[in-house]
């Protein structure tokens, strides 16, 4: 069955009375399905991809539209999936993206379907994505300075990303969220300006702690910008107070934003995603499917479970659902291990980069 690559929790058998849905042995239930549509990408963000790119999967290795639509149907109808996120790699490079979304939408009228993208080409596709049934979009953009953007992504495409963001907002693709990974000495000092831009445009900006998921293995615990540092940087220009809304399992801790000059007016919300220093694994609700159809129960799992071979055999939906449940039962407690601690002595960085897992 699954490919076993070593690490804790291997051999944890799902008991017969585990119940329905994607339960794990720590009592968490995955209802948020994150599906990678491709491992390919047209940027080379330093915290994710090497400059030369990666060895892309063969087309035949990647799940087809029909296989994806079937897996989502099994997830939603049988296993209690309540929301779907399309990611990658870069999902917009997938030629049949619109058809995938409209097929899923045809099966699931009320399913929230969101997508995380780098925004390249979004200006031309935003309306069609909305028409196909996409509910919401998150766009990654780490800097408003062309040179800094190009340094971080190794491509000079800031203008195109900005056009994509504007188009998403214009066609009404929900509340547009912007993701920015802060990198020391590169874009960290820009944090307040990025927030000023986002609140003035009505976007929800989220600052993300860099995780050890880069193909170059360049991450260090001391080098990354922590959530505490992020808040300190923002407090040069803003007052942040905890957002009273329920976090509801979300990676982002939200803060209400007021300008120091007008402290009575809430001008927006900012999220901080502190996967390293303030982890949220205890309330994790995610199940991941890689572009080639492997279940990763955790972003940092060293264990992967193949569903593609079942999808390409005469296995019925129940057999696929059962293997998916088995994989999720063995989900590690946190950060791919028995405890939280990215960068701790016993932490082992996954072989795959964020782009190859599906961020």
Ligand X SMILES: Nc1nc2c(ncn2[C@@H]2O[C@H](COP(=O)(O)OP(=O)(O)OP(=O)(O)O)[C@@H](O)[C@H]2O)c(=O)[nH]1
Ligand Y SMILES: C[S@@+](CC[C@H](N)C(=O)[O-])C[C@H]1O[C@@H](n2cnc3c(N)ncnc32)[C@H](O)[C@@H]1O
Point out the annotated binding site for GTP: 34, 85, 116, 177, 286-288
Kindly identify the residues of this chain, within the stretch 82-101, that bind ligand Y according to CB under 6 A.
Answer: 87-88, 90
Nearest Cα neighbor of 97 from 141, 140, 35, 158 is 35
Nearest Cα neighbor of 67 from 286, 289, 352, 285 is 289
Binding site for ligand X (CB under 6 A): 85, 87, 114, 116, 138, 177, 179, 208, 250-252, 273, 275, 286, 299, 359
CB of 98 to ligand Y, least distance (A): 17
Q: Are 132 and 102 in contact (CB under 8 A)?
A: yes
Task: Tell me how far CA of residue 216 lies from CA of 52, 211, 345, 347, in angstroms.
Answer: 11, 12, 19, 17
- 290 forms part of the interface with ligand Y (CB under 6 A): no
Contact partner, 49, from ligand SF4, ligand X, ligand Y, none, Cβ < 5-8 Å per class: ligand SF4
> Strand, helix or coil at 43?
coil
> Strand, helix or coil at 98?
helix
Of 31, 46, 114, 118, the one binding ligand Y (CB under 6 A) is 118
CB of 85 to ligand SF4, least distance (A): 13
CB of 153 to ligand Y, least distance (A): 9
C-alpha to C-alpha distance for 183 and 161, rounded to whole angstroms: 19
Q: Which residues are annotated as a binding site?
A: 34, 41, 45, 47-48, 85, 89, 116, 140, 177, 211, 281, 284, 286-288, 298
Of 211, 289, 296, 340, the one binding ligand Y (CB under 6 A) is 211
* CB closer to ligand SF4, 54 vs 311: 54
Q: Which residues are annotated as a binding site for S-adenosyl-L-methionine?
A: 47, 89, 140, 211
Cβ partners under 8 Å of residue 219, min gap 6: 47, 210, 211, 212, 213, 343, 349
* CB closer to ligand Y, 140 vs 305: 140
CB of 86 to ligand SF4, least distance (A): 13
Sign of CA dihedral 271, 276, 278, 280: positive
Of 47, 157, 324, 329, the one binding ligand Y (CB under 6 A) is 47
Contact partner, 135, from ligand Y, ligand X, ligand SF4, none, Cβ < 5-8 Å per class: none
Residue 48 burial (CB < 10 Å; 0-12/13-18/19+)? Answer: buried
- Segment interacting with ligand Y, rule: CB under 6 A, options 9-17, 24-32, 114-122, 165-173: 114-122
Q: Give start and end residues of each alpha helix (H) in 246-341.
A: 308-311, 317-329
CB of 206 to ligand SF4, least distance (A): 14
* CB closer to ligand Y, 305 vs 355: 355
Q: Which residues are annotated as a binding site for [4Fe-4S] cluster?
A: 41, 45, 48, 281, 284, 298
283: tokens are 């309330």
CB of 131 to ligand X, least distance (A): 21
* CB closer to ligand SF4, 28 vs 258: 28
Nearest Cα neighbor of 117 from 164, 163, 62 is 164
DSSP 326: H
125: tokens are 């596709």
Q: How many residues bind ligand Y (CB under 6 A)?
A: 20
C-alpha to C-alpha distance for 313 and 301, rounded to whole angstroms: 26
Strands 136-140 and 113-117, sheet pairing: parallel
Contact partner, 213, from ligand X, ligand SF4, ligand Y, none, Cβ < 5-8 Å per class: ligand Y
| Distance between first and last Cα of the chain | 25
Residues that bind ligand Y (CB under 6 A): 41, 47-48, 87-88, 90, 116-118, 140, 179, 181, 208, 210-211, 213-214, 354-355, 359
């Amino acid at each position: 069955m699954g490919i076993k690559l070593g690490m804790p929790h291997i051999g944890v058998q799902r008991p017969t009375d585990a119940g329905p849905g994607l339960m794990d042995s720590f009592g968490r239930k995955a209802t948020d399905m994150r599906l990678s549509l491709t491992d390919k990408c047209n940027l080379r963000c330093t915290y994710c991809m090497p400059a030369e790119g990666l060895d892309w999967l063969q087309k035949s290795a990647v799940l087809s539209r029909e296989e994806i639509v079937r897996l989502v149907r099994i997830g939603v109808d049988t296993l209690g999936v309540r929301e779907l996120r399309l990611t990658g790699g870069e999902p917009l490079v997938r030629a049949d993206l619109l058809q995938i979304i409209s097929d899923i939408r045809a099966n699931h009228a009320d399913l929230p379907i969101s997508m995380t993208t780098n925004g390249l080409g979004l200006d031309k596709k935003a309306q069609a994505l909305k028409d196909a049934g996409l509910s919401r979009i998150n766009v990654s953009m780490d800097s408003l300075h062309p040179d800094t953007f190009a340094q971080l992504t190794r491509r000079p495409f800031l203008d195109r990303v900005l056009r994509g963001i504007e188009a998403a907002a214009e066609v009404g693709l929900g509340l547009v969220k912007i993701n920015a990974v802060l990198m020391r000495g590169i874009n960290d000092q820009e944090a307040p300006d990025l927030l000023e831009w986002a609140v003035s445009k009505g976007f929800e900006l989220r600052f993300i702690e860099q995780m050890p998921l880069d193909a170059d293995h360049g991450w260090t615990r001391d080098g990354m910008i922590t959530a505490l540092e992020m808040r300190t940087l923002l407090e040069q220009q803003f007052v942040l107070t905890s957002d009273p809304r329920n976090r509801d399992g979300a990676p982002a801790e939200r803060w209400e934003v007021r300008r120091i000059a007008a402290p009575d007016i809430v001008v927006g919300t900012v999220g901080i995603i502190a996967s390293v220093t303030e982890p949220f694994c205890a309330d994790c609700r995610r199940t991941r499917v890689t572009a080639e159809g492997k279940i990763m129960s955790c972003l940092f799992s060293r264990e992967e479970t193949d569903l593609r071979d079942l999808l390409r055999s005469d296995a019925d939906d129940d057999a696929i659902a059962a293997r998916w449940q088995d994989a999720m039962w063995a989900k590690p407690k946190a950060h791919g291990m028995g405890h939280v601690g990215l960068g701790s002595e016993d932490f082992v960085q996954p072989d795959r980069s964020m782009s190859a897992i599906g961020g």
